[in-house]
Every structure is written in C-alpha cells, then in structure tokens.
Amino acid sequence: MKYVVSLVLGILAGVLILLAVLYYNPLTARNTLSPLSVSDNEIITFRYSAVAADALVFTNDGESQIKPNPPKVLQLWEPTVRLTNSMVTILRDSRNNPAAIGIKISSESEKTNIVDGNVIVDSVWHIYVPGRGSLFVEQQENYWGYVREIVIPAYWSSGDSWRGNWTGNITSGPGALGTARVVGGSGVFLGLVTDGVESLRAEAYSVDAGPVAMDAELTIELPRIEATLTPDP
C-alpha cells in the first residue's frame, strides 16, 4: 500500500513540478520591445480600448467570459465560428483623435500549445482611414504572457481580480521578427506591404468580466519611398 501512495505522490509531485516549470519558464517571457522601435521609417499608430464594452460592436459565442456589446448583437454560436470574436471600433491616432474604422476578427488557433508557451490567436484587421485609404493586417498573436501574468494571478487572487501595470507585445507573427503583415488596399496605402505590431497595456482585469481597463496600440511601419533620381534634361 505504501508503495502505491508513494507512486501517487510522486506522480502528483511530477505534475506540479512540470506546471511550475511551464509557468515560471523564463524562456517564454513576454516581449516588451517592439521590433519597430528601432526602425528609421515613419510609424503610424492606432490606439483603441481593448475593453469589449468600449467597442462599437463586440460579439462572440455569447457564453464566454467577455459579454457581447451591445447585448442584443447577433452572436457567433455556430460550431465553425464558436471560437471566433469580432470587434468593430474607432481607432485613434497618437493625438487621441478618431482616425479610422477598424474591424478585428480573431479566432483561437490550433497552434496553441502550453508546453511551448504559445496561446495563439489568428487575427485580421480590416481598417479604413478616411482620406488616406484602407489596410489589411494579418497577425498571429501570442497571449501566453497575458494569461500568465494577468489572467492566472486574477484567478488566484482572493478578490477574483488583478490590478497593476502590464505592457507587452501580443503580435508574434507571421513576420520573422514577430511582426504582423500589413497590406495596403487603396488610397495612399495602395501597393504597400509592410510590418506591424500590436501591443496591450493592461491595468485591471476581472475574472467575471475579463479586461476592465486595457488599451491596445497597433503600430504600422511606413517604408520610405526612395527618391528616384531623374537625369537633367
């Protein structure tokens, strides 16, 4: 009997050690430095509140922790879209003025693997900037840092909430440097193919409602158009 108890205790200890290693693994630490921060090119910044209640429209399967907004919006309950969220919001520029209409559609990715520290969401942005044109942003987002440093501590907290200051890049691909792929569709962006990065700045999270105070920033690099030398006539 004592061998059985010893074996069970050993298994439990092994599982706990593995979970602790995964949770505290320094190799999967959040990325706070944007690859675009060292760029010489012009950067466009779009800011928005990442709280669903602040969006014009936010919808999901209706049974998730984050509630759809407005409450009567059509929900994505069908099996194929049950793991998908859609958000429509006004994107603000760096001076906090309304600058664009942004539609973000995100789906949980089958690439998610806790062992590798990957909580992956595949998302696309459809953006229209009045007077400038439209953009499409494709990105793979990794929420492991967010889950590890905000969501899990909120569940551990006696108040079922988390408060603090957390900043991190969530874009993890498809670019080699962990950047999103941005394609211009019209206007001044026509023909543009460049990189982008989305980051989150969280201050409060509730187990009941999800993010309570959280802002996001989408930065897009605008490559310089090299001046073409024209010969003197």
Partner 1 sequence: MIKTFIAGLLLGLAGAGALLFYTPVVNQAREQSLIVVHPNHGNTETFHVNIPTDRIMIGAPDQAEPLPPGLDWPADEKFAAARAELFKLRNSKDAVVGVASRMAASDEVAGGVIEWVFHLPARGSAYVLMDSQPADEGYRIGDLLTGTHEFEPLTGIVTERWVADTTGFEDAPAGRIELITAFVAREFADDLPEVDAE
What's the min distance (Å) between Cβ of 66 and partner 1? 16
Binding mask 69-88 for partner 1 (x = CB under 8 A): -xxxxx-x-xxxxxxx-x-x
User: Residues 178, 212: contact at Cβ < 8 Å?
Assistant: no
Based on the shown chain and the rule CB under 8 A, indicate whether residue 18 belongs to the binding site for partner 1.
yes
Judged by CB, which is closer to partner 1: 32, or 155? 155
Nearest to 164 by CA among 181, 151, 173, 180: 151
> Of the listed pieces 31-39, 113-121, 152-160, 223-231, which binds partner 1 according to CB under 8 A?
113-121
User: Residues 198, 153: contact at Cβ < 8 Å?
Assistant: no
Nearest to 183 by CA among 108, 228, 133: 133
Give Rg (Cα) of the chain: 21
d(CA 108, CA 225): 36
What's the min distance (Å) between Cβ of 2 and partner 1? 6
Based on the shown chain and the rule CB under 8 A, indicate whether residue 183 belongs to the binding site for partner 1.
yes
Based on the shown chain and the rule CB under 8 A, indicate whether residue 101 belongs to the binding site for partner 1.
yes
d(CA 213, CA 201): 9
Judged by CB, which is closer to partner 1: 20, or 33? 20
DSSP state of 31: B
> What's CA 219's distance to the chain center, in Å?
12
Report residue 74 as tokens: 């059509």
Site for partner 1 in 194-223 (CB under 8 A): none
Based on the shown chain and the rule CB under 8 A, indicate whether residue 147 belongs to the binding site for partner 1.
no
Q: Which positions touch partner 1 (CB under 8 A)?
A: 2-3, 6-19, 22, 56-57, 59, 70-74, 76, 78-84, 86, 88, 90, 98, 101, 103, 105, 107-110, 112-115, 122, 124, 126, 128, 130-134, 136, 138, 174, 183, 185-188
